[in-house]
Amino acid sequence: MGQPLILIHGMWCNTRHLARLDELFSARTYECHRPSLPHHEPVERQAEAVGALSIRECVQHIKNYIAAQHFSQLPVIVGHSMGGLVAQLVAAQIPAAALVLLTPASPAGINAVVPKVLPWSLPILSRPGFWKRPHKLSQEQARRYLVNGLHTTHQEKIINSLVHESGRMLSEIAFWWADGSRATRVDAAAVKCPVYVVSAGSDSLTPTSVVKKVAARYANSTHRHWPERSHWVIDDLDTEDMVHEIDGWLRPVLQRLNRVPTTLPRVSRAQ
C-alpha cells in the first residue's frame, strides 16, 4: 500500500468536497482517507446537530480515526481551511510524516478577524448567540468569498452542496482570546514533522496575511503562495499543479523518513 494520507475538509464542507484531491493524490500512489468531521454529512437535522460542535471534538474524531486504521507508516495529514487547523492540532498531539495546510484557519495567538474577512464574517458574528447556533453562507456570500474565480457552473454545484457549520467552532477560531478551553491552541514545538503551507491571493476567508503567520509558526515549514487563486484550492484549475508540487516536496520527506538504516559488518583493523 502507499503512504497513508488523511484529508480533512473545511468549514461548511464534508468529505465529498475532497474528491478531486483524493483522485490526484491516489493517482500518485498515496493511500487516501477522507474521514468526515462529526455532523457534517447532509442529513436531516444536520444544522441542529452541528451548531454547538467544538473543534476539540473534531480533533479527537480524527485522532480516533487514525488510531483505528493501525497504519504501518506514519500518515501525511492534509487539511483545508478549518480542516487545516484541525490538522495542526492533530499533528501536535500524535506523530505524523508531514503536514500539508491548504489555505488553513489559524490557531490561537493569530488574529483571524482581519479587515478582509469582515464582509462575510460580521453578519454571522453579530447574530445574538451565534457561538451556539449553526450558520451557513448565503449563496451570494459563497459565490463572492468562497468559490470566487471558479466557473459559474462549478460555483453553483459547490454552493448547492454546502452544509451548515458550528457557531462554536467559528467562535473558538475568531475569539480564541476569550475561549477558556483554549480549543485552538497549538503547541507548535510539538509538531515535529515538515510542514507545507498554501496561501491564495484572492482568499477572503483565510487571507494571505494570516496564512503567512501560520507558516511562520513552524520551524520546518515551506510556504507556497498562489497570487490569483481563491480559498477553494481543493478543486480549481490549478489544483492538479498544486498537488504535483506538493508531491514533489513530499517524496524526499518520505524517503528520508522511511529509509531503513543499514547495518554494516564490523571490519577488524589489519595488524
Q: Coil, helix or strand for 139?
A: helix
Range 115-122 contact pairs with CB under 8 angstroms and sequence separation of 24 or more:
116/204, 116/207, 116/209, 117/204, 117/205, 117/207, 119/144, 119/145, 119/204, 120/144, 120/145, 120/204, 120/205, 121/170, 121/174
pLDDT above 80 for 118: yes
The answer to whether position 12 is within a domain reads yes
Is residue 268 very low, low, confident or very high in pLDDT (cuts 50, 70, 90)?
very low
**Burial of 138 from C-beta contacts in 10 A (0-12 / 13-18 / 19+):** exposed
The answer to whether position 77 is within a domain reads yes
The answer to whether position 62 is within a domain reads yes
pLDDT above 90 for 184: yes
Q: Coil, helix or strand for 32?
A: strand
Strand segments (E) across 70-180: 76-80, 98-102, 134-135, 165-166
How large is the C-alpha radius of gyration of the chain?
A: 19
Range of the domain at 150: 4-257
**What are the cell numbers at 46?**
444536520
**What are the cell numbers at 161?**
452542496
pTM: 0.94
pLDDT at 58: 98
Angle at 133 between CA 132 and CA 135, to 5 degrees: 135
pLDDT at 269: 38
The better pLDDT of the pair 267, 48 is held by: 48
What length does the chain have?
Answer: 271
Q: What is the pLDDT of residues 23-44, one digit of tens each?
A: 999 999 999 999 999 999 999 9
CATH code of residue 84: 3.40.50.1820
pLDDT at 258: 83
In 3-state terms the chain splits into helix, strand, coil percentages (rounded to 5) of 40, 15, 45
pLDDT above 80 for 1: no
pLDDT at 259: 81
The answer to whether position 267 is within a domain reads no
Instruction: Measure the CA–CA gap between 173 and 177, rounded to whole angstroms.
Output: 9
**Burial of 260 from C-beta contacts in 10 A (0-12 / 13-18 / 19+):** exposed
- Whether the CB-CB separation of 239 and 233 falls below 8 Å is answered with yes
Q: What is the pLDDT of residues 5-27, one digit of tens each?
A: 999 999 999 999 999 999 999 99
Residue type at 162?
L
**Burial of 47 from C-beta contacts in 10 A (0-12 / 13-18 / 19+):** middle
pLDDT above 60 for 160: yes
The answer to whether position 269 is within a domain reads no
As for how many domains the chain has, the answer is 1
**What are the cell numbers at 131?**
457561538
For all residues of the chain together, what is the average pLDDT?
94
Cell 497549538: give the residue.
Answer: 186
The answer to whether position 268 is within a domain reads no
Residue type at 73?
Q
The answer to whether position 197 is within a domain reads yes
Rounded mean pLDDT, 86-93: 98
pLDDT above 50 for 117: yes
Q: What is the pLDDT of residues 210-229, one digit of tens each?
A: 999 999 999 999 999 999 99
The answer to whether position 185 is within a domain reads yes
